[in-house]
Structure 1
Amino acid sequence: MQPWHFFVIEGEGRERFSAVLEQGAIAAGSDDKAIDKARNAPFRAPLIITVVAKCEENHKVPRWEQEMSAGCAVMAMQMAAVAQGFGGIWRSGALTESPVVREAFGCREQDKIVGFLYLGTPQLKASTSINVPDPTPFVTYF
């Protein structure tokens, strides 16, 4: 089982993706500012990967695990890109549920868009200082 599908968006594909996001925002009844933001989103990075969890119903692997596997694939790609010096941001939001956007990526009813991974070369140098968070609120020793 391989419960994911990657849609690589670059070059002219970003124009097509822009139109899809714009139509999704319009269909959702978004205001002009949100529609403009959706239209411009694909131009924040030279490469975007849309990741769809291609879930199989009535499989021994439950649907939630299939979705988590697709999410792990996104995280692995993002970490691989960062390790090679690229920047990446994993975005999701309401448009992942948009019927217009889902149709553009061939989603069946049981499929889920787990996110859009924006990748490129950072324009700003990353900070060399590290702020280590206090783990107490989210770590319990059992």
Structure 2
Amino acid sequence: MTALEAARTRRSYSKVTDDAPTREELLRLVSAAGRVADHSSLRPWRLIELRGADRETLGRAINKANGDKGASSKPLRAPLLIAVVAHYRKSDKVPRWEQEAVASGVAHMLSLLLDEAGWGVIWRTGGYTRSKAVAKAHGLGKNEELLGWLYVGGKPAKAKGGRRKAVDARPLVTRMPGKKPA
């Protein structure tokens, strides 16, 4: 499969099976995903692998962030969660927003690679990604922000919903004001 085919056929899987990639497979894919454009090669990102009881710890932190007791079952929707963390570095050349874009690029590239390798993936976020309780559960530093989680598992035999419609790029690709498209 080419990169173009992988991008065109990618979809999110809100429901996955209990299968998950091994740590070794994940490391191989992260190594490739880490090749995204990264001004000054700062690597302003890190990923946190959550499996098993880690997901229950996250569930308790989510409920605490929401002012609820017990544990949210949301993190139990997939056997592997990959927390995407923007790890900001001091730089005179690379602003904070650009570093966050790199971290987002790694997450998106990883989701494409996981999908192409046969895994079901969805990137989940929520208001609690910026909560103190959730940050503490992930051991985030002062220079870090959680951007969400990739929920990863096996692709179900029959997934609900089909592929998304192709994007019509014409209205989204413009020229400088006053220039006509070629």
TM-score bucket (shorter structure): 0.7 to 0.9
Cα distance change, pair 92–130 in 1 and its aligned pair in 2 (3 A): closer
The residue aligned with 2:147 is: 114
Contact 1:48 1:117 (C-alpha < 8 Å) held by counterparts: yes
Deviation at residue 16 of structure 1 after TM alignment: 1.3
Whose radius of gyration is greater, 1 or 2?
2
Q: Deviations over 1:64-109 (max 9, x none)?
A: 1111111111111100110011110111120111111112222233
User: How much identity, in percent, do the aligned residues show?
Assistant: 33
CA RMSD across the alignment: 2.4
- Confirm or deny that 1:11 pairs with 2:45: no
Aligned equivalent of 1:29: none
What is the rounded CA distance, in whole Å, between the counterparts of 1:91 and 1:130 in structure 2? 18
Q: The residue matched to 1:39 in structure 2 has which SS?
A: coil
Once the two structures are overlaid, the 10-residue window that deviates more, 10-19 or 81-90, is 10-19
Alignment match, 1:25: 66
1:1-142 correspondence runs (5 A): 1-26=42-67, 39-123=72-156, 124-125=158-159, 131-141=165-175
Q: Residue 18 of structure 2 aligns with which residue?
A: none
Q: TM-score, normalised by structure 1?
A: 0.81
Conserved 8 A contact 2:59-2:73: yes
Please state whether the residue corresponding to 1:9 is helix, strand or coil: strand
Equivalent pairs, count = 134
Q: What secondary structure sits across from 2:149 in the alignment?
A: strand
Runs of 4+ in 1 over 4 A off after TM superposition: 126-130
Q: Give how far 1:122 is off.
A: 2.2
Structure 2 unaligned blocks of 5 or more: 1-41, 177-182
